[in-house]
Structure 1
Amino acid sequence: MQPVVLTRDQHGISRRQISENALKVLYRLNKAGFDAYLVGGGVRDLLLGRQPKDFDVATNATPEQVKGLFSNCRLVGRRFRLAHVLFGRDVIEVATFRGHHHSVNTSKHISARSKEGMLLRDNVYGTIEEDAERRDFTVNALYYNIADFTVHGFAGGLADLEARRLELIGDPQTRYREDPVRMLRAVRFSAKLGLSISPRTEAPIKELAPLLTDIPPARLFEETLKLLLAGQGVETYRQLQHYGLFAPLFPEAAEVMGRGNNRYGRFIELALANTDERIAQDQRVTPAFLYAALLWGPVETRTQEFVNEGGLGYHDAFMLAADDVIGRQVKSVAIPRRFSTVVRDIWQLQDRLTKRAGKRPFRLLEHPKFRAGYDFLLLRAELDPRLKELAEWWTEFQQANPVERHPAERHSAERQPQSRNDEGKDGGGRKRKRPRRRPRRRKES
């Protein structure tokens, strides 16, 4: 693991590109006599000419030593003990160099594996060379030294970055078994950075994809957000399908599409393309909308099954199907309630949007999730011609002048107080006089 070292004049990384808070951490560690490196994705992205979202630090200081240097530090993690240095909402993650599992460990934490070879706890500390060997991909085994501003590339990482190649460090079977999420990271980096996955790195993925079912659902939720909300959702989804990684994450959707109904697959791609476009335009996106699209196929399918087999009415069948699909899905990817509640709202609005009689449309406009439900309807209409008229009606209804839609309401509004401060005033804005009260007559004794 001898590194290729680029001197300050051989790479394009400038300290002006590194966050001020990351520099504070690097400088203080270095001043205290510790090694301090910017590491991994931050260095990789800077060399690719991209601006990193996060800056991580690697050091030979233990987590406890890091905490002793920073009053704004907290130690987190059981599987990997890390130091988080907090600057308001900005968190600089500081990791101690990892060592090999057979190394003597002076920490009270030890390395432990499951029967499948997955690392359960891993707090063995070592040298920078050992740390580089423990990294997942060669393009992440890159270190920027704050002491002399050099870049150290291990395991051929600099050459792979130049060749736009994603190469796993070590034996792929072993590394994927240590942490099956590395298979998802391979897809994410490939789609995000435009890197081709090397043949040896991709070879075991389809065989080992079922290992994802051993990962805690809460962790997979965070990973799916990174996968699908990074701006390359369509390409990521296609790679997940290609490598057999989609089914362990979304078994309900995979089962429906496995029946030969490719319409739901096209719908998912349409939703992801819409999300990618919004991200490119710096518009707000919510995981709830995407999860509503990913699980729409199973909900529609289960609803029809309950209607046909259970003799239920559509509304009851739909509510039962929604509970059933979300209940099963959270066993694979845990969707927090704050999102699953919105998912249900979006689904329920699809039926309510078909009812346009009387005052219902006006009440629907006041629904807090109306816009999400309407956008969802537009996506459905792109694949289902039967919904085109409904979608156009709602588009025109929103664009229409509220005064023209509601002349009676306008007249009523003119007669009502305009604000709480206007209460008690006449039509001209003058304060109305209250009628004088007559004094009560005293009863004569």
Structure 2
Amino acid sequence: MIRKLIYRVLGRKAAPAVATESDGPAVIAAARHGIHRDRLSSGARRTVEGLQQAGYKAYVVGGAVRDLLAGIPPKDFDVATNATPEQVRQCFRRSRIIGRRFQIVHVLMGAETIEVATFRGPHDGNTLTDEHGRVLRDNVFGTHAEDAARRDFTVNALYYDPVAETIVDFHHGVADLEQKTLRMIGEPTQRFREDPVRMLRAVRLAAKLGLTIDPAARRPIRELTPLIENVPPARLFDEMLKLLTSGHALRCVTQLRAEGLHRGLLPLLDVILEQPLGERFVMLALDSTDRRVREGKPISPSFLFATLLWQQTLAHWKRLQSAGERPIPALFVAMDEVLDAQSEKLAITRRIAGDIKEIWGLQPRFEQRSGKRPFALLEHPRFRAAWDFLLLRSESGEIDRELVDWWESFLAADGDDRAQLLQAPRADDVKKRRRRRRKPASGNGNDAATGSAVPGNASID
């Protein structure tokens, strides 16, 4: 009786793990939820209207409805329907069926691509899974209620009808969102085994929406963390990219550490975050990215992964130099080692990996401040990203501020002043000349190709 009274006061009731049509989902009117159809994209409205006019059920579903309720502009709109992929294809001339694991339809509406999925049915003995329980292929169609039960969290099991302007809610997701609770639909351990990415999604949604993960859902996460190893690298990369570009990356990484999930994603990230210099560098980078997302400025996935993997690269680089390798070749060997090891966890695309290497590879060139080299560096297409990376290294304390000060003066100067800066003696040059006077130099004396090319001498030597 007490529990029923609490649920009645809070606007929710205890729900079974699997709802049925007879349970009668809550149908919430616009006066209660406050979402107007004009807040949807034109393509999403037209897709739903087209399916309904053809006699099918159709709703905008999942993250878009959740974000609209939370006051966050959705990035995209997905549609769920009782029409099969072939029937959806017949409704829209500009559409195509894609996917093997989950067959869906991409409907092209002008510049928009609307993802349309048929209601899913429950898993059964014929569902193809791996030895850990992860679903490998599933195209079993079902009812609206069964589809809601297949969703991961209650806040994602919300269906918005832009024609009637109502929300259909089988699992009290609206109430959970109001109460700042992220609750799993069904038995958490089984649901995480079906798709381990849900553990990462729980962290991302909790950070993004300011929710508290329900204890029943949080409890098995640490035990099931090794299942992340079985997720295809491409899916893991997509989920990590969503996490890092959510505008709450700093909070997400902190939560990943708290849940023990970071160990299966970025190798040695836990070690990096336990070292003052490495932790400061990563946190500064994530905070900067979050600010840019909130301000509506563009962000670069390449830059993000370059910052997250830099401390590993730096450690390899230092080790190779200690073994006698020359600085520049050692850096490129270190880059390949780190990215090759990471590719086993995340399917970082070749383009992004190339961008990361350019950002890292340009760092020694900031040390080369004579002749035409600074002008050539300015013309490099990755100069801005490399410069921002250098600023992070300086702010975290990895390299001397003198290098950044010189470049800031050079960037602000005109032709004559730049020429003077190129001729002016620098503190590191004075130190090198003093060392040469004390000890005769050996080799060919080409400093630009040896020691002077090492960024941040104080922290690396």
Which residue number in structure 1 is paired with residue 238 of structure 2? 222
Instruction: Read off the aligned partner of 1:218 and give its amino acid letter.
Output: A
Cα gap change, 1:169/1:385 in structure 2, threshold over 3 Å: closer, same or farther?
closer
More RCO (CA 8 Å, sep 6+)? 2
Cα gap change, 1:280/1:150 in structure 2, threshold over 3 Å: closer, same or farther?
closer
Q: Return the alpha-carbon distance in structure 1 between the equivalents of residues 374 and 399 of structure 2.
A: 20
2:302 to 281, 285, 288: 288
- 1:406 to partner: Cα distance: 5.3
Matched residues, percent identical? Answer: 48
- 1:100 to partner: Cα distance: 1.0
- 1:237 to partner: Cα distance: 1.0
Cα gap change, 1:208/1:48 in structure 2, threshold over 3 Å: closer, same or farther?
same
- 1:148 to partner: Cα distance: 3.1
Cα gap change, 1:191/1:30 in structure 2, threshold over 3 Å: closer, same or farther?
same
Q: Return the alpha-carbon distance in structure 2 between the equivalents of residues 287 and 151 of structure 1.
A: 35
**Residues 1:298 and 2:320 are matched in the alignment:** no
Q: Return the alpha-carbon distance in structure 2 between the equivalents of residues 252 and 39 of structure 1.
A: 37
- 1:141 to partner: Cα distance: 1.1
1:120 to 109, 122, 136: 136
- 1:386 to partner: Cα distance: 4.4
Rg (Cα) greater in structure = 1
Cα gap change, 1:322/1:386 in structure 2, threshold over 3 Å: closer, same or farther?
closer
- 1:211 to partner: Cα distance: 1.0
Deviations 1:165-219 (A, max 9, x none): 1001111110000000001110111111111111111111111112111111111
Q: Return the alpha-carbon distance in structure 1 between the equivalents of residues 58 and 345 of structure 2.
A: 38
* 8 A Cα contact 1:252 1:295, kept in partner: no
Paired residue secondary structure (1:49): coil
Q: Return the alpha-carbon distance in structure 2 between the equivalents of residues 376 and 147 of structure 1.
A: 49
**Residues 1:398 and 2:398 are matched in the alignment:** no
Which residue number in structure 2 is paired with residue 418 of structure 1? none
Higher mean C-alpha displacement, 70-79 vs 80-89: 80-89
1:371 to 377, 384, 393: 384
1:50 to 59, 65, 72: 72
Cα gap change, 1:316/1:162 in structure 2, threshold over 3 Å: closer, same or farther?
same
Which residue number in structure 1 is paired with residue 177 of structure 2? 161
Paired residue secondary structure (2:362): helix
2:354 to 341, 350, 353: 341
Instruction: Read off the aligned partner of 1:257 and give its amino acid letter.
Output: I
- 1:330 to partner: Cα distance: 0.9
- Superposition map of 1:37-186 within 5 A: 37-102=59-124, 111-146=127-162, 148-186=164-202
* 8 A Cα contact 1:36 1:146, kept in partner: no
Which residue number in structure 2 is paired with residue 279 of structure 1? 293
* 8 A Cα contact 1:252 1:329, kept in partner: no
The 4+ residue runs of structure 1 with deviation greater than 4 A are: none
**Residues 1:268 and 2:282 are matched in the alignment:** yes
Instruction: Read off the aligned partner of 1:306 and give its amino acid letter.
Output: L
* 8 A Cα contact 1:30 1:146, kept in partner: no
Q: Return the alpha-carbon distance in structure 2 between the equivalents of residues 273 and 386 of structure 1.
A: 20
Q: Return the alpha-carbon distance in structure 1 between the equivalents of residues 296 and 236 of structure 2.
A: 25
* 8 A Cα contact 1:292 1:347, kept in partner: yes
Q: Return the alpha-carbon distance in structure 1 between the equivalents of residues 267 and 418 of structure 2.
A: 46
Paired residue secondary structure (1:120): strand
Task: List runs of 5+ in structure 2 lacking aligned partners.
Answer: 1-18, 421-461
2:225 to 197, 209, 224: 209
Instruction: Read off the aligned partner of 1:209 and give its amino acid letter.
Output: T
TM-score (norm 2): 0.83
Paired residue secondary structure (1:83): strand
Task: List runs of 5+ in structure 1 lacking aligned partners.
Answer: 104-109, 408-445
Cα gap change, 1:366/1:145 in structure 2, threshold over 3 Å: closer, same or farther?
closer
Cα gap change, 1:385/1:169 in structure 2, threshold over 3 Å: closer, same or farther?
closer
Paired residue secondary structure (1:295): helix
Higher mean C-alpha displacement, 79-88 vs 63-72: 79-88
TM-score (norm 1): 0.86
